[in-house]
Structure 1
Amino acid sequence: MTTALLVLDAQRTVLEGAGAVPAATTVRAALADLLARARAAGSPVIHVQNDGRPGYPDEPGTAGWGLVFDTRPGELTLRKTASDTFAANDDLADTLRGRGVDHLVIAGMQSDYCVRATSRSALQAGFRVTIPSGAHATYDDEAPATELARAVEEELAAEGVAIVPVEEVRF
């Protein structure tokens, strides 16, 4: 079967400028590496773009809404208005299965929202899921961003998600 890369919300508002997540530089490099390796392997790549509400930094059509990485022909771009990519795109699981995908590498923004919710839905839909450490991030909140990201990894690992260093991801 096939491994696909699902890049969540790699948008300008979270990866560039004053409003970026604290780990933006590191995460952006990790995402670029994953994209390059997935493309070189001919693996499916799915970009997910969050549509923020009016006035939000990721409101459609604003500079912050734009994707950081260019998409290529054959790569899917999905939009969503909720944390869970599967809930926002009812046919996603069938689309992936139709391409022979049984394993998802999920990376991007934000660890404690979209990465967590989408990973759980992927598991429930029967996909194997891998999250590369260092290829997802969030903002400081009740704890520092790095602690929140690590807690999400521990939580999802207990639910069956493989957590591996970026360099160990295979496509």
Structure 2
Amino acid sequence: MKKTALLIIDVQNAMFDDSNPIYDGEQLLNNIQYLLNQARSSSIPIFYVQHNDEEFITGTPPWEIHPSIAPKKGEIIIQKQTPDSFHHTELHQMLQAQQIDDLVIAGNQTEYCVDTTCRHAVSLGYNVTLVRDAHRTWDSNTLSAKQIIDHHNEVLGNAFVSLRATIEIQFNNNENIKINPRYI
């Protein structure tokens, strides 16, 4: 029987700072809250990934996971220092210990941590569903945040992951992900 986990990547306070907020951050938080409620009500394991570097200094307010999606007791927090949630972390071992086959992924930053983690997860043999409207980034010098998100959804969806909208995700009592039949 396949088991699913929800993986929330780098949804930390610094990304919602008023001086330079992530694109469409409030909607991102709403979508992740929906996913968390779905996962929690179906007893799906939830893993948070928390980035650490010179901007995200361990123990400081910018480093903390956003309070609107804060982990609850028993939900695992993985610390990382690179864009890859698996690189030099215990994520793969913890997922294997719980016999997880399928990952539903949401979070930040689309072109770095989300992209890299999706690709590595697939190379490790996980079936990955990227929630296409539950990952975000900032504008770059050449592309808008929306263009970056759309581009990565297209590239990842064509070769690596299944793409689903937040509203399409339904978890099924720790067995697997189901697609809401209204959206098939």
Indicate whether the TM-score tops 0.5: yes
State the partner residue of 1:122: 121
Map residues 3-152 of structure 1 onto 2, 5 A cutoff: 3-53=4-54, 56=55, 58-68=56-66, 69-89=69-89, 91-141=90-140, 142-152=142-152
Identity %: 29
Structure 1 segments, 4+ long, off by >6 Å, are none
Specify the alignment match of 2:169 in structure 1.
169
Deviations 1:6-56 (A, max 9, x none): 000010111343222021011011011111111111000001110122xx2
Cα separation, 2, equivalents of 1:100 and 1:156: 24
Structure 1 residue ranges without an equivalent (≥5): none
Unaligned runs of 5+ in 2: 172-184
Query: Following TM superposition, by how much is the alpha carbon of 1:135 offset from its aligned partner in structure 2, in angstroms?
Result: 0.4
**1:60 corresponds to which letter in structure 2?**
T
| Aligned equivalent of 1:160 | 160
Residue identity in the other structure for 2:148: L
For normalisation by structure 2, the TM-score amounts to 0.87
Following the alignment from structure 1 to structure 2, what is the Cα–Cα distance between the partners of residues 62 and 95?
26
CA RMSD of superposed structures (Å): 1.2
- Aligned partner of residue 93 in structure 2, secondary structure: helix
- 2:73 corresponds to which letter in structure 1? P
Q: State the secondary structure of the residue aligned to 2:28.
A: helix
Q: Distance in 2 between matches of 1:86 and 1:134?
A: 23
Contact kept, 8 Å, 1:46 with 1:75, in 2: the verdict is: yes
CA distance in 2, matches of 1:31, 1:160: 22
- TM-score, normalisation: structure 1: 0.93
Q: Count how many residue pairs are aligned between Structure 1 and Structure 2.
A: 167
**Residue type of the partner of 2:62?**
G
